[in-house]
Amino acid sequence: MEIGRLIPILGGTGVMLALAGVIAPLLIPETQWLTTICESLALLCLSIVCFYHIKTIKSFSQQRSTRLGLNSIVTVILVGAILVIINFLAARHAPEWDFSETQHFTLSRQTYQVLRQLEQPVSIKVFAHEGSPNFAAFRDLLGTYTKETEKVTVEFIDPERQPDIAKAYAISQIDTAVVESAAQKLYLTDTSENDVTNALLRVTQTSKKRLVFLTGHGEKGLIDQQSSGLSRAQDALEKQGYHIDAIPKMTSEHIQTTSTVIMAAPQHALTEGERRTLLHYIDQGGRLLLLVDPQSHDSVGMLTEHWGVTLGEGIVVDQEHRLGRGSPTALQIRTFTGHDITDEFTVPILLPVSRYIDFDMEKGRDWDFVSLAQTSENSWAEMNTTNTTPELNTDEDVEGPLTIAAALTTNADEQDGQTSAKIVIVGNSAFATNGYLTYPGNTDFFLKTIAWLADAGHLVSITPKEPAFRPFVPNPSQEQALLFFQVLFLPLFTLFLGFSVWKKRRRL
């Protein structure tokens, strides 16, 4: 009799222990041992209850209603088991779809190219625990990297449980990722795809390509953080793994081991010695990025004429490819040619106040000239630079389409071990400054141009997308279409429908 009174208590205790074993890991993930104990005790209690009522169970199983309901019970169990198995397999092998508006959980095309071209293994150690703020962000982002390549391995380390490893890596804060390959090591505290991809590039490079900015002729400053400076451009290039130097004068010693020379809007002409040094550097397969503005001093005219390039006078005006209803000199270039730099461009380049570029095939017969970006046919070079409302004057102005950016290459003799010289000339320097570099197309164009010049092929497409709000910026013709549709068509169409309904109801 005493045992009979304990049986209901054991049954209730068994159910409570079973529920506790399920809930415990959700509340305290570290207590796996508690789950094992609870489930074991629950199994023991319920087994005792079943053994005590074995006769009742046997009698119940022999009833006709029990036999009829047995098929239903078995069917329910089988269906439940099938669903559990399907869910188990789906959780581990099911494909993933990213339906977020900004494709936040999908790697960019540029990152996929980097992962396919990795030649050495990269280890990423994330010092974080499941309760840290960025643990989930690191897990979701880095998981997409490991799914695409076996060369990237990710390990999560709890610095509190493994303090010796954290001390060996000098970890001073939680949510720190260490990206290392061979002898190179890089620390990350941000969970953006941009930083992770750039880290992969930097730690897998055996040497950094050297970029030299010429600064002694009134060029834009690298350390200048004003809107007209190039501090953001320098930061973007350093994140791409380049070594940046600034030199006040062009000498053979300064550019001897240089991948690319950059002249950002020089205001004063090079000396004769500097010009000869630069021409010799180009003749030996050198690389040059030349950014020139309209109305600037004729600082590089003699230099470009040596390659058959003429820098056009005036300011380029484009009534079709411009920034909204703003100034027609604020160009939104949308027409690109099939070149490695502009290949697969999907966003326009914003070039405020530009000059055009012309090429003489006779003078530049040793060069291959490719127009990278062009204005529309409804454009011209305005010679009257003081006119605030420019109008086409066929007698003075130069009609479009006009070339705003161009690339020149030489046909090198590979048998003699020569490399092709490369030059990119852009009739605008403001697009690379702090005030305009954040424009999506400008960032792509600048980084891809540098990568093409420096023969950093694996860097050409490295512009990982960030989840950000990027508004639609219509050109004037699109603005007119939107204005007509929203202000005229929709109200009139609504009025017409209302009148039709009123007239039909009146007839009833």
pLDDT for 189? 76
Beta strands in 297-419 (DSSP E): 309-311, 315-318, 330-333, 335-336, 349-352, 357-359, 367-374, 379-382, 398-399, 403-410
pLDDT for 473? 60
**Spatial distance between the Cα atoms of 389 and 385, rounded to a whole number of angstroms:** 10
According to DSSP, residue 173 is labeled S
pLDDT for 467? 47
pLDDT for 65? 60
Nearest to 205 by CA among 189, 181, 238: 181
pLDDT digits (tens, 9 = 90+) for 20-64: 777 776 676 656 667 777 777 877 777 777 777 666 666 655 665
DSSP collapsed to 3 states, 76-102: HHHHHHHHHHHHHHHHHHCCCCCCCCC
pLDDT for 425? 93
Nearest to 348 by CA among 327, 330, 332, 326: 332
Both structure tokens of 322: 């411009």
pLDDT for 423? 93
Half-sphere CA count of 473, side-chain side, radius 13 A: 20
pLDDT for 462? 42
pLDDT for 460? 41
Both structure tokens of 232: 């953001």
pLDDT for 297? 60
Residue type, 325: R
Residue 200 is inside which H or E element, if any?
A: helix 193-204
pLDDT for 81? 53
pLDDT for 222? 86
CATH class of the structural domain 109-197: alpha beta
Residue 238 is inside which H or E element, if any?
A: helix 231-239
State how beta strands 243-247 and 210-214 pair: parallel
Q: Residue 347's CB: how many other CB atoms inside 10 A? A: 16
Low-confidence ranges of the chain (pLDDT < 70): 1-5, 25-26, 28-33, 53-105, 239-241, 296-299, 324-326, 344, 412-418, 457-477, 508
The single residue listed with the structure tokens 């454009």 is 379
pLDDT for 213? 92
pLDDT for 468? 47
CATH number of 209-459: 3.40.50.880
What ranges do the domains of the chain cover?
2-93, 109-197, 209-459, 483-508
The single residue listed with the structure tokens 């991948």 is 259
pLDDT for 170? 82
